Amino acid sequence: MSATETSLSARRVLVTGASGMLGGAVAQLLRAQGHHVRTFQRRASAGAVDEVQGSLTDQKAVEQAVGSMDAVIHLAAKVSFTGHWQEFVDTNITGTSNLLKAARNAGIKDFVFVSSPSVAHFGDSLAGAAAGTANPQLAHGNYARSKAAAELDALAADSADFRVAAIRPHVVWGPGDTQLVERVIQRAKAGRLPLLDHGAALIDTTYIDNAAAAIVRGLERMDHAHGRTLVVTNGEPRPVGELMAGICRAGGAPAPKLNLPGWMARGAGSVIEKIWLAAGSRGLVHDEPPMTRFLAEQLSTAHWFDQRETHEVLDWKPAVGIDEGLRRLSAHYSKDRA
């Protein structure tokens, strides 16, 4: 990291979605590095000093959020395995478009769009893959489809005067994670956590500290990163069953033992998703479904990525390994049980 890059400590950075685990970690890291951080999200975030609450679909609120900022890191999104398409359009596509427009009009120079490798994962195994091009027509699930469309819009806005980079952290987890870790542990304790194809699929994941550091590094390295799409992982592919067993141990839950064929789970997931969506429309369920086709694909197909371009462009490598991350996760749950 050069002296020029470390001198970027006085910037005014808007972070959307700071009430989430990753957004909160990004905001915290930026503050620790001396940046002035403003957050923008629907609900209050802990410890925020400069905060704007509102929706990405409210153009006036978005314009208020970007006012006087130098840069934007955009993490806010509707993240779910199920839900009606229009809900994803409103937040992930229209919301991103509103933010891009407001940021350009406000004279903001740098915009980091936080995306997902799922925008270029079309159901086949990915082994040592490059980032790939986002494709809303081929991506699976409404979340991935909407994020793919938003990523394409964001990168299309990249120019010398308005620099945009897309950073795709893959399967982010760590202490305080309710999206992956808590669901794995709670379902394991209830005996409802199956392995698909014996949990043999090799997958990359990203410890929370590494994901936050890479996103902030993308802003610092915008000279090199703008116009690019970079997948971020720990670079330590593990069998999905091994990773889930480690998370279960950390949370005091039994490792999953039930095994299902991947093809069966994918078929069942398609049916369950439709039933869950219909029931949710009638107000009968509020949680995520136990299985969807997208989730079954993620649990039964390899998805790990070549990290050489990411390390070169960002001049960065992850600092916290998977085993150390699991140790920290175990310490987190041990503290809760004490």
Q: What is the CATH number of domain 7-174+205-233+304-320?
A: 3.40.50.720
- The encoded tokens of residue 144 equal 């991935």
By the 8 A CB rule, do 153 and 93 touch?
yes
Q: Determine the pLDDT at residue 4.
A: 38
Does residue 285 register a pLDDT over 50?
no
pLDDT at site 110: 98
- What is the predicted pLDDT for the residue at 5? 45
pLDDT tens string 294-320: 777 878 889 999 999 999 999 999 999
pLDDT at 6: 41
**Per-residue pLDDT for 11 more than 50?**
yes
**Contact 247/184 with Cβ under 8 angstroms?**
yes
Domain boundary assignment for the chain: 7-174+205-233+304-320
143 labelled catalytic? yes
Instruction: With a cut of 70, say whether residue 9 has pLDDT above it.
Output: no
Kindly report which listed range (111-115, 231-235, 262-266) carries the lowest average pLDDT score.
Answer: 262-266
The model's pLDDT over 246-280, given as tens digits with 9 standing for 90+, comes to 999 999 999 998 898 887 877 877 777 677 566 66
* pLDDT tens-digit map of 36-88: 999 998 877 665 578 999 999 999 999 999 999 999 999 999 998 778 899 99
* Cβ atoms of residues 40 and 64 within 8 Å: no
Q: What is the mean pLDDT of the chain?
A: 90
Taking only the tens place, the pLDDT of each residue in 149-184 is 999 999 999 999 999 999 999 999 999 998 889 989
338 vs 265, higher pLDDT: 265
| Distances in whole angstroms, Cα of residue 314 to Cα of each of 15, 41, 65, 137, 307 | 19, 27, 27, 30, 11
Q: Is the pLDDT of residue 104 over 90?
A: yes
pLDDT in the model for residue 286: 58
Mean pLDDT of 232-246: 96
Exactly one of 88, 143, 316, 333 is catalytic; which is it? 143
Residue 2, pLDDT > 50, answer no
Please tell me the predicted confidence (pLDDT) of residue 242: 96
